[in-house]
Structure 1
Amino acid sequence: MGVAAIIAPAAVLFAVGGDAHSPAETSRDAEPVVAEPVFAAPVADHVETAEPCCVELVAAPPTAPPFIVEEPDATPPPGQVFAASRLRIVDRSLPAGVAPEHGLQVKTILTARAISEAFPEISNIGGVRPDSLRWHPNGLALDVMIPNPTSTAGIALGNEIVWYALRNAKRFGLQDVIWRGVYYTPDGAKGSGHGHYDHVHITTIGGGYPAGDEVYLR
């Protein structure tokens, strides 16, 4: 009597070092992770660059339908045998974005890179510059410049960046966001923000200056 069985590719998800996250978390709702310097916290976000830290091995999609065994001694075609075990490497590290990173602290760099990846329409992010307040000179603040900031599309884009930063407040070490006269903190809007109608101003807690071997993760 014939025996029926189905061999289907098995999904494999394997994270090397750091936090484990699904590759699907590269959407705008994803919460990036920064590899902190040795003096920074929390430990869960720290990644030692001397060890594999920023890749995931995931199962490749099947290239053929499942092989159905109709006879006890039947064997699948060779190509279908390997479809279930073939792996691909997914890089979890965040590349440098459009913001100049010299002089920025690690949380500010993480925020800038994450925004660059999540919002490719942003082509200009300011960082360190002279100012009477300490935020920009100390590498704690970003100015995310909004294209056509007074247009309906520009205002909507600025709003989306504000909510993106607030949703990721813990990961970014967010202190505040200012956009279109409103001052936001992770606890909610706090009133007047003194302008900022052409860019979203973002301030972080910093996290310390980079040593040069940090890895910033999605």
Structure 2
Amino acid sequence: MTQTSKPGRRRKPVVRDPWYVRARKHTAIATGVASLGVAAVASLGTSSVTVADATHVSHTTSESAPAGSGDIVTEALDGAAPVRTSRSSAERAPLPSAVEAEAMIEGSLYAQKTVPVRADASEDSPVLATVAKGKTLQVTGETRGGWTQVVHNDLPRWVATKLVDEEEPKLAPEEGTLSTAPCGIGSGVESGLQADTVRVYRAVCARFPQITSYGGLAGRGEHATGHSLDIMVGGQLGWDIAAFLQANRVELGVSYLIYEQRIWTVQRGGEGWRGMSDRGGATANHYDHVHVTTFGNAGSL
């Protein structure tokens, strides 16, 4: 018996688009997805702003909310957005006035090193200023842990307690600042002196206030031209002053020093202090004063 085959359905051949057509389709699809994504993000952003604005309005009184206020973004574009004030600023304690700050002061302490002045009693608090070693800090008497409250620029600030003390620290020759303020014992000594010699006089006067006698313009040698100054002192204090002038020779324009029958010059500084011949007396041999000669106007202070 012969079977006849049933007619079957033939699969249509798949006809693929050329590669350049497929590429255009993929590009179009990608562009459409990207556009939808941007629109969704924009919609989400607008919704979140509107919700945030609604939340803000719900926390304010009806008197503070303008009538008919709408979307904050639309208002901003129209120039009609209300001014938003920070609630935290209203809760912050007001800063004291200069008079109130003055009333807080109970005494003063000396900076034992360079002292960072901070906004709050914490190492993480920002440093607002620094106070040089030997300077005084006005204190309120309030402490917090390892911190002491001070009044700096008429405002309450904080410094580390370990960096301040009632005793004035002794400054090394190279430490501290050089004063250019007029000397408290008078400016008569400055008459006829060169600019560098005036710098020396003022700096020594500020650093060593116990010195009350100086020799300025005179009719001999470099004193006659105002290049030299005699600082009337004896003993170890004279060497302290000499070391101070050596350490600050550039700023003060120092050329050379003489003390206790020894001389030190900038030109031969590497040789240290050198001996001098005997001139016959304590004053002539500079045992009762430090003699300093300057370049005239070479200092950088």
TM-score range, shorter chain: 0.5 to 0.7
1:10–1:84: 8 Å Cα contact kept in structure 2?
no
Partner of residue 293, structure 2: 203
Of 128, 152, 155, the residue aligned with 2:217 is 128
Q: Residue by residue, what CA displacement relative to the aligned partner does 1:56-109 show, whole Å, maximum 9, x if unpaired?
A: xxx976764569xxxxxxxxxxxxxx6349xxxxx9853222461111111111
- Structure 1 residues 66 and 155, CA gap change in structure 2 (3 angstroms): closer
TM-score by length of 1: 0.53
Task: Report how far residue 192 of structure 1 moved.
Answer: 0.7
Give the match's secondary structure for 1:83. strand
Letter in 1 for 2:180: L
**Which has more radius of gyration?**
2
Written as runs of structure 1 = structure 2, the 5 A alignment for 1:1-218 is 8=121, 10-13=126-129, 22-24=131-133, 64-65=142-143, 83-84=156-157, 94-97=180-183, 98=185, 100-131=189-220, 133=221, 135-146=222-233, 154-186=234-266, 187=269, 188-192=272-276, 194=279, 195-207=285-297
- Structure 1 residues 173 and 25, CA gap change in structure 2 (3 angstroms): farther
Letter in 2 for 1:201: H
1:62–1:84: 8 Å Cα contact kept in structure 2?
no
Task: Report how far residue 183 of structure 1 moved.
Answer: 1.0
2:179–2:202: 8 Å Cα contact kept in structure 1?
no
Letter in 1 for 2:254: L
Task: Report how far residue 117 of structure 1 moved.
Answer: 1.1
Letter in 1 for 2:249: A
Give the match's secondary structure for 1:138. coil
- Structure 1 residues 137 and 166, CA gap change in structure 2 (3 angstroms): same
- Structure 1 residues 185 and 94, CA gap change in structure 2 (3 angstroms): same
Distance in 1, Cα, partners of 2:181 & 2:207: 12
Distance in 1, Cα, partners of 2:203 & 2:179: 10
Percent identical pairs in the alignment equals: 28
- Structure 1 residues 92 and 127, CA gap change in structure 2 (3 angstroms): closer
Task: Report how far residue 174 of structure 1 moved.
Answer: 1.0
2:217–2:224: 8 Å Cα contact kept in structure 1?
yes
Q: Residue by residue, what CA displacement relative to the aligned partner does 1:173-193 show, whole Å, maximum 9, x if unpaired?
A: 111111111111230223316
Give 5+ residue unaligned stretches, structure 1: 1-6, 15-21, 27-58, 68-81, 86-90, 147-153, 209-215
Structure with more of its chain in helix, by fraction: 2
Give 5+ residue unaligned stretches, structure 2: 1-119, 146-154, 159-176, 280-284
Distance in 2, Cα, partners of 1:111 & 1:166: 11
Work out the number of aligned pairs and report it.
138
* Cα-Cα RMSD: 3.3
